Every structure is written in C-alpha cells, then in structure tokens.
Amino acid sequence: MPSGFGILGVIGWAMLGALLLYIAYVVSQRSQGRAVKFSVVLIAGLLIGGLLLNSLSAGLVSIPPQERGVVINSISGTARPVGPGVHFVTPFIESVSRYSIGQQTYTMSKTPSEGQISGDDSVTARTADGQEVFIDASVTYQVDPDNIIDLFIKWQDRYENGLVRPQARSIVYNAVAQYRVEEVYSTKRDALQAKITEDLRGVLGQNGLLLNSFLLRNVTFNQEYANSVEQKQIAQQNAERARFLVEQEKQEAERVRVQAQGRADAAVTGAKGEAESQVIKARAEAQSLELIAAQLKDNPNLLTYRYIERLAPGVQTIFLPSNQPFLLDPQAFIGPTASRPATSSAPASPTPLAQPFAPVPTPTPTPTPAPTTTP
C-alpha cells in the first residue's frame, strides 16, 4: 500500500485520538467545578474526519504491475479479480488477497542447499527394467492472471507445496517407469523431459498455473549400479580403442599397398619408356644405316677414306699393293678396329701411300756364330 494511504489512516486515527482527549479534558474540568462546555462542532468534526480518513485508508487498495488481487466479500462470500492500479473496496467488509504473477521456480535436488526443502529432496523412481534412479529437477511456473479466481478457490496460497511439488514428483515417477535406465540418462533423456513437461503443463493449467519450463537437471544411481555403469563405459572405451587400432592397421596396410602399387606402376611405366626408347633408337640406327648406304652408293671411296681415318692415328707409313685398292676386307670398317699386318698373295712393287710418313727401316739380321767342335 502506498505511503499516502497509510498517512490518511494515521491522520484519521490521530483525529479520533484527539476527540477522545478533548472529551476527557472537558470531563476533567467539569469534575473540578469549572464551567467548560462541549464543542459540538469540534467533536463532530473530529469524529467525522477520523472515521472518513480511516475508511478511505482501509478502502483504497493499490495493486502493482507484478501482482494481481482477489477481492473477497465476507458477507456475500463472493470473489472478484482486480488488476494493477488503485481500487476501492468496502472497508471492513471486503478484503484483498494478492498474488504475484512473476516467474517462480521450485527445485527438487539431492544437494541440501539447492532446493526449497532442506536435505535430500530428489525424486526417487524406478525404471522399466527395475533400476532405482534419483532425479534432480526444477519447475518454473507462474500464476495465470486469467484464472486467478480458480487458483484462489482451490489453493489460496498453498499451491506451491500443495500442487506444484506433489504433482511434479508424481509425474516424474510415472514417466521414468516407462523407460529403461540407459534411456533415462542417455538416449531418451530429451524425450523423457518433453513427456514430463507436457503432463505437468496440463495439470498445472487446470489449477490456475502456467508452466514455463521443466528442467531435468541430473540423474544419479545407487552405488552398485554406478559401478557397473563405470565398468561398462570402460569396456566400451577399450572396444573403441581396439576398433581404432584395427582401423589404423587397415589404413597402414592400405598405404603400403598403394605405395607398392605405385612402385609397380612406376616400374611398368619405366619399362614401357625404356622399350619405346629402344624402338626409337633402333629406328634412328636404321635410318642412319640407310643414309650411310645411300652415301656409299654415291661415293664408293668414302668407305676407304673412313677406314684409313680410323687407322691413321696409330700408323706412320702404310704400303698398299698396286693391283689391290684395299688393304683389308671393307667389311672390317663396320666391325671393331683391329691392328694386324698387311699381307699380299702376289709379289708387287710397293709404293708409298702418304708422304709425310717415313719408311719403316728394315731390321739387320744378327749373324749366328758357327758351332765349335771339340776334338
């Protein structure tokens, strides 16, 4: 209530107090034999003013924006809602119950300091396969301004402990019983939360409350099952590691295979290249021989010249028979060069082949001594 309305009440009660003091003063003076008259105007003014101000103070009600009010008539037993603003109610006959329409959160947790109730307030439930689980949850809700009369009639101010908490715990318990334990904490956790939210929203909506969200905060187990879950997770991790190692080995084998295939492909490519190189080389040699044959056909003395050119670096003087154009078989030019003495089957007078070479000197035979006979 604003301070102005309180001041009106204070002034009203002050005026009534002044009226009583005035009456007491007049009575006291008269008891002492003094002639003091009552002032009817003063008494009426104080009385009317005090009653009026107290009535205004009791009848004016201010509702802030975050609240809604329910006006209850104690004589007729009726109730009517009032919204934000200043309202006048019948003093001493009508009263106002206020409700906050802001969001409120009720938490049920295993941790003593988190929930509204001290100690372990988590929801104990059993899954479809008989495992015991402990659920920590939070319910965020608010009063429905359009159904505030229903809320007042059914629950007054007991809706948190009388409606929200028991309904949430019951719905969580029934919903968990429809899922297996692995689904509750892993694969179907979102589906479980969605189902609880849907069921709880319907129940609260029928009683004048709006559900904003339901949060499934934590799922825990008894120690025995927790140990088994831990062992299972360790086994799964080991299996995953083994699969990873196998996959790694497969990748390594594939890498080696690809590498070997690459070397084989390189060898085949190299062999093909070598073969093509040999073919090209053979074709080039064949073309070269064809060119040589064509040149020899047009220039018969070219073969002799090439042969002499090969022998020239190691020979100083060469004698050729006058009746034979070649010293050796012309086919020797094609084969490897060999040094051998020049011979002739018929006697002929040798003639020098080239002039700057000096004649080879004839070795002088050494006389052989006659044998000596001893008598």
How far is it, in rounded angstroms, from Cα 208 to Cα 63? Answer: 19
> Which of 135, 137, 208, 232 lies closest to 176, judged by CA?
135
Instruction: Output the tens digit of pLDDT for each of the chain's 375 residues.
Output: 444 556 666 776 777 787 788 788 777 877 877 777 777 777 777 777 777 767 666 677 888 999 999 999 988 889 999 999 888 888 778 889 999 999 999 999 988 888 788 888 899 999 998 888 999 999 999 999 999 999 999 998 899 999 999 999 999 999 999 999 889 888 899 999 999 999 999 999 999 999 999 999 998 887 777 676 667 777 888 888 888 888 888 888 888 989 888 888 888 888 888 888 888 888 888 888 877 777 777 777 776 777 777 766 665 555 555 555 555 555 544 445 444 444 444 444 444 444 444 444 444 555 544 444 443
Residue 54 neighbours by CB distance under 10 Å? 20
Q: At what angle do helices 40-59 and 3-31 cross, to 10 degrees?
A: 150
Joined tokens for residue 334: 């094609």
> Which of 173, 175, 151, 149 lies closest to 72, judged by CA?
149
